[in-house]
Amino acid sequence: MKIRDNIRNKEFQINNRRYLGSKERLLTFIDTVVKENTHNIKSVADIFAGTGVVANMFASEGKSIIINDILHSNHVIYKAFFGTQKYDYCKIDKALKKINNLTDYGDHYLEKVYGNRYFSEDNAAKIGSARQWIEDNKKKFNDREKAILITSILYGADKVANTVGHYDAYRKRMDSLQKVTFKMPYINNYQNTRIYMLDANKLVKNINADLVYIDPPYNSRQYVDTYHVLENIADWNEPEVKGIARKSTDRKDRKSQYNLVKAPQAFDDLITHINSKYILVSFNNMAHKGAGRSNSKISHDEIMRSLKKRGKVRVFHQDFNPFTTGKTNIKNHKELLYLVKIK
């Protein structure tokens, strides 16, 4: 037992990251609604998976999982936690020891673009060195082993980032001086999983599951912009970055239509083409409570209109304190779950 505890101290869990809209604190609510109001759910598709914690919850209950997100950094993380390819634990452990001791490897790209901004100079040097070493030695690892190593870097970087939990901006004063460490992810070795990185509206036309869980980005905050630093680390193409926020200009292929004014039409098209027994939709009733970019692009009435086309809709709610940048005091906020049993 002590040996396993010591190993766990050197590992990180799938939920150990900061992420806008994470459902980590709502897992019990989601699980209870599904268990008490559905029957014979053996497969679940999480098509806007984000952190992956909802898919992870259902997978831990023995359900077959389809997990999807349009961001490359999330896709890499899913391959680490949900992949079915075999991996060599000892080989990864040896590689982690190697990259944890690298500080002056490669061309120092990450230091130049993010040093003393999103990361301290020392952490930027270590993160960049580690990522370049993996790229230079990728032939030594299979696809999942490489994903596990990059995931370790992504989680390690996020833990020490000089931000409030996203990468739209960094703190003016460097107050995150904790040294970055790359650890082993705690992997459950699920077998019945399929992983995608596709537009959700296209994906649903080619899959089926007993339950399709939907949690799209309802406001104008494009996740590829919000997490551009992690995308850059995952891609490792060393693009030119511009502006105070140091964002690359080559991100259009990962922008979501759900952050735009046409979000209601996109949502209606999505619901129309879902092939499942049940649809479960997460929605927070921001409406016009927060800052402009946080306000929802889809209304409750629009959601209901689309869902009613497929069957009877039941709505469940739970009080919830949403993420804000500290400029807005939001009261009486609720997280909603819409459950549809398909006709």
Label each residue of the chain as H, E or C: CHHHHHHHHCEECCCCCCCCCCCHHHHHHHHHHHHHHCCCCCEEEECCCCCCHHHHHHHHCCCEEEEECCCHHHHHHHHHHHCCCCCCHHHHHHHHHHHCCCCCCCCCHHHHHHECCCECHHHHHHHHHHHHHHHHCHHHCCHHHHHHHHHHHHHHHHHHCCCCCCCCCCCCCCCCCCCCCCCEECCCCCCCEEEECCCHHHHHHHCCEEEEEECCCCCCCCHHHHCHHHHHHHHCCCCCEECCCCEECCCHHHCCHHHCCCHHHHHHHHHHCCCEEEEEEEEECCCCCCCHHHCCCCCHHHHHHHHHCCEEEEEEEEECCCCCCCCCCCCCCEEEEEEEEEC
> Cβ distance 244 to 113 under 8 Å?
no
pLDDT of residue 28: 97
In tens digits, the chain (343 residues) has pLDDT values of 344 444 556 799 999 999 988 999 999 999 999 999 999 999 999 999 999 999 999 999 999 999 999 999 999 999 999 999 999 999 999 999 999 999 999 999 999 999 999 999 999 999 999 999 999 999 999 999 999 999 999 999 999 999 988 888 898 888 778 999 999 999 999 999 999 999 999 999 999 999 999 998 876 567 888 899 999 999 999 999 988 889 886 666 776 777 777 889 999 999 999 999 999 999 976 554 444 444 567 999 999 999 999 999 999 999 866 554 444 455 566 899 999 999 8
Q: Which residues pair with 141 in a beta bridge?
A: none
What is the C-alpha separation between 235 and 248, in angstroms, rounded?
12
Q: Cα 7 from chain centroid?
A: 25
Tokens 């993010």 correspond to: 114
Domains of the chain: 19-71+190-220+260-343 (3.40.50.150)
pLDDT of residue 217: 82
pLDDT of residue 260: 72
pLDDT of residue 290: 45
What is the C-alpha separation between 319 and 100, in angstroms, rounded?
42
pLDDT of residue 322: 56
pLDDT of residue 331: 57
pLDDT of residue 293: 46
